[in-house]
Amino acid sequence: MTQMKKLNEKKGFTLMEMLIVVAIIAILVAIAIPVFTTQLEKSKEAVDASNIRSKYAEIMTHVLLNEWDADNDYETVQLQQGINGWQNADNSTGLTAAGMSLSGDPSANSTCTLTYHAPSEDGDGSDGYVMVTFD
């Protein structure tokens, strides 16, 4: 008799338990999606800032080696970010700290132009600099 009773007992989850688990998962996904998209945008901005610093280093290397072509005095960088402006303030701070002069804010999927301005010829002691313009 006890063997028969054990065979008739059903094991498993009830419908209510399954619905609660599905609801908890849905809430976690609803919280995670905005966080994921924000982090994705910050990573695109970090790539943009890195590409701008890389072009800056390229320009300054050419200037220091006297290989800079005055007729072609600019370089462009294609921006990857999908939202206008910097979402992470550290990017603009890091670029200005590197000796670049920023003009404007980046736009989504636009370009950035880096232009070298040579020191003045009149001997006023001003150094050359790179102007970063967001188109």
Predicted confidence at residue 102, as pLDDT, reads 81
Q: What is the CA radius of gyration of the chain?
A: 28
Predicted confidence at residue 24, as pLDDT, reads 97
pTM over 0.75? The answer is no
- 33 in any annotated domain: yes
- 5 in any annotated domain: no
Predicted confidence at residue 62, as pLDDT, reads 87
- 87 in any annotated domain: yes
- 79 in any annotated domain: yes
- 2 in any annotated domain: no
Q: Which of 41, 36, 53 is nearest to 98 (CA)?
A: 53
Contact 46, 88 (CB under 8 A): yes
Residue 126 has pLDDT above 80, yes or no: no
Print the domain residue range for 20: 13-134
Q: What is the pLDDT of residues 2-40, one digit of tens each?
A: 565 565 666 788 999 999 999 999 999 999 999 999 899
**Integer Cα distance of 68 and 63 in angstroms:** 5
Residue 135 has pLDDT above 60, yes or no: yes
Number of domains in the chain: 1
Residue 102 φ then ψ, to 5°: -90, 140
